């Protein structure tokens, strides 16, 4: 809002603001009278009030009068809502978001909407076009609050979907449009898992669009079913543990310039966790008294909490990490607080000569193979990788996590990793 508009607003509502600040209206205006005055526009919002409005646990409305409301969502998004009756029929419509749509513009749109409704004698008004991009950005704001891997979700949608369909009216997009994009960009390259995930995200966006009132029916709920995808067990690129001395010495050199990434990868070796599990490692999960890391169930693939014994090597790494914020490995180039990206770890390996040779998840395979060849008991080795062992009946009766045996096995493995590192750059801290 420009300065002139703000000044005009302050002058227009000078008397009301003085009355309100004195607290007089609270004692002399009844609820019915106050509602009537709001409808007449007596308590119209000011720019400052809108700016100061804070998000709460639940969405709430601020009345501007004449059927115009500002709806503040828990995510902090502020939407202008028209809510009035025309010829006995209720009309409710989102006009836009603040500050993109100013107070003045919102009031003008409300007036036009009322005039059109009165002229046509029907609440069926031509709705504002909502592009796929607009709906997606609203949905991802909500998603951020619920999941930690929202950045990975965002990367996939923005890479594969937005360039082609981002600016198109959401209602004009057909299921075929999505299918064609996924076939051309991903199916021909065998990226079946990526297709599956994107279809799942589009399904969620479609549900959001209907629940928010942008569409009246779901249309993109079963896109994945049209792909003749065979279940393919694809081993992630990895190396044999016999190659580890050469691999680690080479990575150490590049790690000198990217120390944070190097320590993230070392954590993968020292814990044998999955990349998303060790990248999102939080200080609150660490118990230095009994030297354990407890990864909560919601983070684990099997949705069960997993206790990781802290080896001597991992302890040294943790004690020398700067403790800033909740994450052990925070993202350094993001405006919002989030953990180190798994994509960054993958990119580090690809850029330094390990494309199609080694990925972060492949570290687990190296450790598992080493344990097999060094007579680590099967159930102990599997539990080190947080794999479930046995039938459902066996699991129901056997609740042991074999922590002490796993501690011995993990220490032997980390000693081997340390031996592989000897002779390279001194990055063991």
User: End-to-end alpha-carbon separation of the chain, Å?
Assistant: 53
**CB 252 within 8 Å of CB 427:** yes
- How far apart CA 367 and CA 408 sit, in angstroms, is 14
Domain with CATH 1.10.443.10 in the chain: 241-421
The pair phi, psi for residue 77, each rounded to 5°, is -70, 135
Q: Is the peptide bond before 369 cis (omega within 30 degrees of 0)?
A: no
Please tell me the predicted confidence (pLDDT) of residue 43. 57
**CB 106 within 8 Å of CB 80:** yes
Which CATH number is associated with domain 241-421?
Answer: 1.10.443.10
The number of beta carbons lying within 10 Å of the beta carbon of residue 162 is 16
Any alpha helices (H) in 302-341, and if so which ranges?
312-319
Please tell me the predicted confidence (pLDDT) of residue 390. 56
Please tell me the predicted confidence (pLDDT) of residue 101. 85
Please tell me the predicted confidence (pLDDT) of residue 344. 87
**CB 297 within 8 Å of CB 304:** yes
Count of residues for the chain?
Answer: 429
**CB 221 within 8 Å of CB 151:** no
Tell me, what DSSP letter sits at residue 193? H
- Return the beta strands (E) in 159-311 as ranges: 286-287, 292-295, 306-309
Domain with CATH 3.30.160.390 in the chain: 3-120
Which tens digit of pLDDT belongs to each residue from 66-120? Answer: 888 989 998 888 998 988 887 767 888 888 888 888 888 888 888 888 877 765 5
Can you list the residues of the chain whose pLDDT is less than 70? 1-43, 88, 118-127, 229-235, 333-336, 389-400, 423-429
The pair phi, psi for residue 292, each rounded to 5°, is -140, 155
Q: Could you tell me the CATH superfamily of domain 3-120?
A: Integrase, DNA-binding domain (3.30.160.390)
The model carries a pTM of 0.48
3-state SS, one letter per residue, for 73-113:
CCCCCEEEEEEEEECCEEEEEEEEEECCCCHHHHHHHHHHH
Which tens digit of pLDDT belongs to each residue from 211-269? Answer: 988 988 999 988 988 888 655 545 678 889 999 998 998 888 888 788 889 999 999 99
Please tell me the predicted confidence (pLDDT) of residue 235. 65
């Amino acid at each position: 809002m420009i300065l002139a508009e703000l000044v005009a607003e302050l002058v227009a509502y000078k008397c009301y603001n003085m009355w309100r600040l004195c607290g007089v209206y609270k004692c002399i205006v009844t609820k019915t009278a106050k509602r009537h005055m709001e409808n007449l526009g007596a308590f119209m919002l000011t720019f400052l009030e809108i700016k100061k409005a804070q998000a709460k646990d639940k969405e709430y409305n601020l009345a501007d009068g004449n059927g115009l409301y500002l709806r503040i969502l828990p995510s902090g998004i502020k939407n202008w809502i028209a809510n009035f009756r025309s010829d006995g029929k209720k009309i409710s419509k989102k006009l836009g978001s603040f500050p993109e749509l100013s107070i003045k513009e919102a009031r003008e749109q409300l007036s036009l909407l009322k005039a059109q409704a009165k002229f046509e004698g029907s609440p069926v008004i031509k709705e504002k076009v909502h592009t796929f991009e607009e709906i997606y950005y609203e949905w991802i704001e909500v998603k951020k609050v619920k999941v930690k891997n929202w950045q990975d979700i965002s990367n996939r949608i923005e890479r594969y979907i937005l360039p082609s369909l981002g600016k198109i009216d959401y209602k004009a997009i057909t299921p075929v449009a999505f299918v064609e994009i996924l076939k051309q960009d991903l199916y021909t390259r065998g990226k079946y898992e990526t297709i599956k995930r994107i279809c799942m995200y589009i399904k969620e966006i479609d549900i959001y669009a209907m629940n928010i009132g942008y569409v009246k029916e779901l249309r993109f709920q079963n896109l994945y079913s049209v792909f003749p995808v065979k279940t393919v067990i694809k081993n992630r690129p990895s190396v044999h543990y016999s190659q580890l001395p050469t691999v680690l010495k080479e990575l150490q050199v590049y790690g000198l310039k990217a120390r944070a990434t190097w320590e993230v990868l070392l954590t993968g070796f020292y814990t044998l966790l999955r990349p998303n599990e060790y990248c999102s490692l939080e200080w609150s999960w660490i118990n230095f008294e009994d030297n354990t890391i407890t990864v909560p169930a919601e983070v684990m693939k099997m949705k069960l909490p997993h206790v990781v014994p802290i080896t001597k090597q991992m302890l040294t790494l943790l004690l020398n990490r700067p403790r800033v914020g909740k994450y052990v490995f925070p993202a350094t180039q993001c405006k919002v607080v989030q953990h180190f990206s798994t994509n960054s770890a993958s990119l580090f390996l690809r850029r330094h000569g390990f494309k199609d040779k080694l990925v972060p998840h492949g570290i687990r395979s190296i450790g598992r193979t080493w344990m097999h060849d060094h007579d680590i008991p099967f159930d102990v080795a599997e539990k080190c990788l947080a794999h479930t062992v046995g039938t459902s009946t066996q699991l129901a009766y056997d609740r042991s996590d074999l922590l002490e045996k796993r501690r011995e096995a993990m220490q032997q493995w980390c000693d081997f990793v340390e031996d592989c590192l000897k002779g390279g750059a001194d990055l063991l801290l």
